[in-house]
């Protein structure tokens, strides 16, 4: 019997010459979110992606590309208006208060913008156009009956917007961690 061929370990990858070289392992940020009924989701933010968060110390909201992740901190690149060039700014992971995520859901993300616009156009068109075709009521009269469908369109747009843009407050249920790729 022959021995089986040696399999490369997780930390090494074979090269063309048959020699093993170390695999590149990269760090990324992970948001572990646990729902009210125990549903667990993990959202990953890799270097190069845009990250939106609010810092705990200064309370400012940042929305810039993530450039590097270390064991206890991460670095973003923001545009300095004074020097008109990008600068690196580092934050500890514990300093993050909230993380804002955008999820691209087909049709729902677009409805978050289109439904409120349709509601405003509906109410404005009802205000500008006469109620009847004979013109007895006159122009620029507001009808209270137009508030119900226009308000429902606005409310539907707000719900779609909230579904496609989530806010996670970093606490016991939602944790921000530094993880490694394999």
Q: Quick check: 105 pLDDT over 50?
A: yes
Together in a domain, 29 and 66: yes
Give residue 133's domain range.
Answer: 108-163
pLDDT for 144: 78
Residue 18: pLDDT band with limits 50, 70, 90: low
Residue 9: pLDDT band with limits 50, 70, 90: very low
CATH code where residue 34 lies = 2.30.30
Together in a domain, 114 and 136: yes
Neighbours of 157 (CB within 10 A): 20
Evaluated on CA atoms 135, 137, 140, 142, the torsion sign reads: negative
Q: Quick check: 122 pLDDT over 60?
A: yes
Mean pLDDT calculated for residue range 144-164: 91
Residue-wise pLDDT for 75-97, tens only, equals 998 888 888 887 888 999 999 99
Task: Say whether pTM exceeds 0.85.
Answer: no
Looking at the structure of the chain, the number of domains it has is 2
pLDDT for 14: 55
Together in a domain, 64 and 133: no
Assigned domain for 54 exists: yes
């Amino acid at each position: 019997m022959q021995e089986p061929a040696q399999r490369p370990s997780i930390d090494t990858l074979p090269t063309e010459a048959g020699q093993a070289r170390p695999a590149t392992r990269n760090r990324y940020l992970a948001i572990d979110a646990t729902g009210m009924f125990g549903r667990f989701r993990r959202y990953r933010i890799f270097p190069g992606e845009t990250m939106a968060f609010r810092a705990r110390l200064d309370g400012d909201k940042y929305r810039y590309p993530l450039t590097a992740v270390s064991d206890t901190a991460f670095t973003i690149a923001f545009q300095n208006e004074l020097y008109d060039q990008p600068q690196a700014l580092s934050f500890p992971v514990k300093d993050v208060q909230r993380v804002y995520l955008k999820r691209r859901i087909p049709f729902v993300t677009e409805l978050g913008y289109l439904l409120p616009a349709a509601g405003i156009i509906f109410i404005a068109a009802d205000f500008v156009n006469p109620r009847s075709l004979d013109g007895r009521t006159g122009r620029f009269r507001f009808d209270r009956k137009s508030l119900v469908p226009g308000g429902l369109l606005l409310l539907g747009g707000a719900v779609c917007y909230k579904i496609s843009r989530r806010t996670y407050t970093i606490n016991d249920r939602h944790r921000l961690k530094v993880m490694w790729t394999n």
